[in-house]
Amino acid sequence: MASRLLTRPLSTASSLRNAAAAAAAGDKAGMGVGGIRMGLDAIHRVETPTPPFLTLPKTVAVIGAPMTYGQPFAGADLGPKALRDKDLHSACAKLGWRVAEQGDLSFDPPKRDDPEFKGPGMCKLSHVVGSGNKKVYEKVRENAQKGRFVLTIGGDHSIGLGTVAGILSVRPNTGLIWIDAHADINTPLISPSGNMHGMPVAFLMGLVDAKTVPGCEWLANVPKLKPEQISYVGLRDIDFGERELLKKLKIQAFTMYHVDKYGIGKVMEMILDRQNGRPLHASYDIDACDPVIAPSTGTRVRGGLSYREAHYVAESIAETGMLGSVDMVEVNPQLTESETSNNENDETVDLGLALVADLLGNRML
């Protein structure tokens, strides 16, 4: 995808020196490359409506879900620590939220004698991923029942199984906005890889018989997600079987083609019109963003959301005053294009924190 940022060349050596000096000064003042404010320096509290189903004073429950077994790359479990180390709590407080830190959930590693999925199809490490998501489900439900905003930081996107199930058990009519390069609606039968981070939506919709999948039996009694309750944005890597399901179920799905065609403002307007009146849950996979701005993630796909598009998605959802829960997933500090630089780690984690802040009410003005 062509860049949407128009630039003009600096014409003199003096201009280049001045630009470099300005960038260096910006870094020292809490600003990122090119003088973009980063971290706490970029957070500005603006009063946004508090959803009617949340209690006052408004409180955000922060749940760490360091799940890494839903996909093949090590490091996704480091996401919660990376975001907290960037001063997540201070960012929440600066935006007027009380913080109820829940700590990191503990997930058992795979064992040789774990029950295995018998088919048809593939569902790798289902016992570990499913059992771990039961813990996520219980912790999310517990905090949602207390009227808290629930922020779950992953971890791979298989945790969406537990987070959304927990919210549906408290608010069954919740609208789910799935922000991702991938649809994650594979079933074991159609999945090319068998990795469970590509399956949570299928399980949530009841497209898989959870009773037949070791570790996922608990899902059988959770309210099912209906097709009209889900909207996608940012899609650009969709498996063949997923395409068929999206069309068959008439699910609202906006790919990057639609973002190019209509603009992100119109896309989000159509999504929020469809979900109007529902409590909202935003499940934000950092790989929805273009790898140029979010390189430290496991399944990078070129042509994603630009820096401002990514922020606008988050800002527009928060602006509804109906957002009650968020996932931020697939931030993997161990994965970079360069083995020798930490800059890409910081860039991706900084973006993850900034998007969370937007979802909690951060605004430019």
* Catalytic residue IDs: 157, 180, 182, 184, 197, 285, 287, 330
Q: Give the CB-side neighbour count of residue 307, counting CA atoms within 13 A.
A: 13
**Whether 167 contacts 325, CB under 8 Å:** yes
Strand partners, 64: 104, 153
Kindly give the interhelix angle for 307-319 and 343-359, rounded to the nearest 10 degrees: 20
Please state, in angstroms and rounded to a whole number, the distance separating the CA atoms of residues 195 and 210: 16
What are the counts of helices (DSSP H) followed by strands (DSSP E) for the chain?
A: 11, 8
Pairwise CA distance, residues 286 & 305, whole Å? 10
Q: Report how far residue 160's alpha carbon sits from residue 237's, in angstroms, rounded to the nearest whole number.
A: 18
CB atoms inside a 10 Å sphere around CB 168: 23
Burial class (CB in 10 A: 0-12, 13-18, 19+), 259: buried
149 with 325: CB under 8 angstroms? yes
Name the CA dihedral angle for 201, 202, 208, 214, rounded to a multiple of 10 degrees: -40
Q: What percent of the residues of the chain are helix, what percent strand, and what percent coil, each to the nearest 5?
A: 40, 15, 45
Half-sphere exposure (CA, 13 Å, Cβ side) for 29? 12
| DSSP single-letter state for residue 37 | B
**What amino acid is encoded at 118 in this protein?**
K
Neighbours of 150 (CB within 10 A): 27
Cα first-last separation, the chain: 30
Alpha carbon distance 193, 190 (integer Å): 9
Using alpha carbons, select from 330, 351, 340, 328 the residue that is nearest to residue 72: 330
